[in-house]
Chain A
Amino acid sequence: MKRLKDAVDRVDLNRFRFWLQLAMFALLVYGGYLAVDLGSRLPMFSCGFNEEGRAGVCYLLPLQHQLSRPWPQLFGIAGVSVLTGFGVFFLWFIVLNKGWCGYVCPLGTIQDWITALRRRLGARYSRYTQGQFRQLSRIKYLLLALMVLIPLGIGGGWFSRDMGTPFCLICPGRMILPMFTGDFSQFTIDFSSKTALVMTALGMGITGLFLAGAFVKKRFFCFFCPMSALHYLISKPALLKLKKDGDKCTRCGDCYTVCDMEIKEIADDIKTRDIMMDDCILCLKCVAACPEPGALKANFASVTFFESTEAGFIKRSQKGIGLEQPEH
């Protein structure tokens, strides 16, 4: 048992993550061909517009659909289906918490691939300043609010039906993910109405921004993701947890250095035990980059399955430098 634990703590996390993400990507983007269907309440961007290949559908699509029903229906019997839908989504979510973002979300994986491409080209990434970060960090809540309010407004008769599923219209996943199964039909601007024109053009622009942004900034889109905001709001009872023991932390900032989401609290906050912040994607890179035994831990249902260790840190960093660990 101890040997298994040591082996896990010494894992080459980046490599493990790469393969797991690849497998998850293949499953979610092509699983449909093998008749895999995980339902339409999935807590990440397994895009519903990828109609042939998808192995399940991102919950945001049905959620916006449901919310845009006429109010008498929505606040009547149809309300039950909204609640049960949310219930199923919630059950999926609590298993992995934000691990869905760091390990499963195909759109997240694509950003990591773009990052890998940039790294190969030897270009450096950019970072936000703290001020920018604080401002940008709020956008995802705004998008979440709009994503709920606009469909409700449609149901109430205030907005045009062309605004239906407003977030999907501007989500880069709608254009990019179907592309992987040869479907480029989403790359169009809909001229049928003024609203449709504006929304699809906006979507096109955001997709361009997504590709360019991910090239200069790690996990560029995740800062703005309303799914991420929704996750955080309901993350309390989740099973997968990121824990920090502030007493063991030297505040060396190694975790912050490797954090794709530039979360400063991971290094500086020594009081909060549940250290998962709203931008976190639970990629666990911070745990792998922490040299202090037990300072950072990943728990599943209160059982620690991966924690920072000195031996793990040394093994990983020396592998990074290209130095094999000498035997002691």
Chain B
Amino acid sequence: MNSPNTKTAIPYNRSRQAREAETMLDHITDDFDDNPAAMDYFYDLFRRAYCQGESLEREGVRVGTTCIHAPEELIYAMGATPVRLCNGSYHYDQIGADFMPAKSCSLVKATLGMLSSENVIPKVGKLDLIVNPTTCDQKKKASAMMVGMGHKVYNLELPPAKESEQARLYWQRSVREFVQQLRQITGKKLTRKNLMAAMARTSRAQAAFRTLHNFRRKAPSLVLGKDVFLVTNAYFFDDIERWTEAVEKLNAELAQRDQDGFCAAQKKAPRILFTGSPPIFPNLKLPLLIEESGGVVVADETCSANRMLYDMTAVDEWLVNDMVDSLANKYLKPCTCPIFTNSDDRLRRLVELAKSFAVDGVVYQAFSGCQVYEMEQKSVAETLNKAGIAMLYIETDYSPDDMGQLTTRIEAFLESLKTRKRNRT
């Protein structure tokens, strides 16, 4: 294996790293007929960012986030731009292996690998601050390593449980302190006006996401899951307003498809709910395999899509204090992340999604080394089993080595779902 760290003279777009992205993107676009025309925006965005290494640098203060718990509205309100650093590249996963123990999560390794590189892809520019919410152990410990790489890191303290009133209040205080930190970095004050403007942008983006989410209830499907994952992935680094407009365009096209009675997948294609470790481009191998094998991912419960964009903020009084507390509330209370002590909400959300999206089966991805997802697997399987929903548990990582084996398992699973369906009718 070539050392991934080699600094050779070849241009980025011919590097192994670019090819990894390109191969994935080619599969996503070329292996399927009838991709929505509105998806071209996203295909093009990823091609430019990941395959050509085009710069996405923003003006002003840039704040990297390592988790969905960092309230983006606050960052936007202070005139800074958030960029989600969670990375899906195998190339960076290998580099990151130098920092973490062998059996640790690909996502954390890839993020560290990216942050330690000189040429960061996607090219988001020099980060003025990294907000690292204290979620799982691996992300917590990654903090010091990021500092070691020369980054300025702010640990946003998240409570380990979320039910109690103490947890809520503790988190509200954390978020208020985060506002102070942002103020130091940006030199700006959080006001009612700028926070409302920021919340308006996020709210519009979320409304667009929810519309897209609802279109996926339709059977037969109007859109494939691989495309939706790409859309939500773009939210990590894309300009929020441009992103929202592109999603609204996609929604308009799906509305048209709905009217025309269009089917994006076979009518009998098993409908899959995707849960567990988040698929992040270029690591969309599992959703892609499902859809290449004739299934269709109609819903997900992952922090790179649904969990990131679904839950919306309610505010009682539009004053800065109440708005900040309400935001804090949204980033803690509905979250179904397995790092919390109690998994009830996640179990209930999965059953509810499975029912309301008329799902035939659930695919549970756990990155090897992501202990929390691995540990919750059993209870999720039991709960789904009780509700009469089949689940396939897959432990994998970013390496492409297990593709063959995974294909076989997924095909078998989809076949069993089809048989189940036939027997039922």
Contact = CB atoms under 8 A, between A and B. Distances in A.
Interface residues of B, number: 38
Interface string A36-63: 0000000000000000000000000000
A160 interface: no
A302 to B, nearest CB: 24
A251 B345 contact: yes
Contact of A247 (B315, B325, B348): B348
A257 B326 contact: yes
B30 interface: no
A323 B204 contact: yes
B204 A326 contact: yes
Contacts of B168: 253
Contacts of A323: 200, 203-204
Contacts of A268: 163
Contact of B321 (A124, A254, A313): A124
Contact of B334 (A129, A247, A252): A252
B52 interface: no
Contacts of B325: 257
B165 A318 contact: no
Contacts of B248: 326, 328
A151 interface: no
Interface stretch (B150-158, B175-183, B306-314): B306-314
B200 A321 contact: yes
Interface in B254-313: 255, 311-313
Nearest to A288: B314
Interface string A313-328: 1100110111101101
A267 interface: yes
A322 B200 contact: yes
Interface of A: 119, 122, 124-125, 129-130, 247-255, 257-258, 264, 267-268, 270, 285, 289-291, 310, 313-314, 317-318, 320-323, 325-326, 328
25 contacts: A124-B321, A125-B317, A130-B165, A247-B348, A251-B334, A254-B313, A258-B314, A267-B333, A270-B348, A289-B314, A291-B314, A310-B214, A313-B314, A314-B203, A314-B207, A317-B313, A318-B203, A318-B207, A321-B199, A321-B203, A321-B318, A323-B204, A325-B207, A328-B251, A328-B252
Interface of B: 163, 165, 168, 196, 199-200, 203-204, 207, 210-211, 214, 248, 251-252, 255, 311-319, 321-322, 325-326, 329-330, 333-334, 345, 348-349, 351-352
Given A251-B334, A252-B334, A291-B312, 13 more contacts: A124-B317, A247-B352, A251-B333, A254-B312, A254-B314, A255-B314, A291-B311, A310-B210, A310-B214, A314-B312, A320-B318, A321-B196, A326-B204
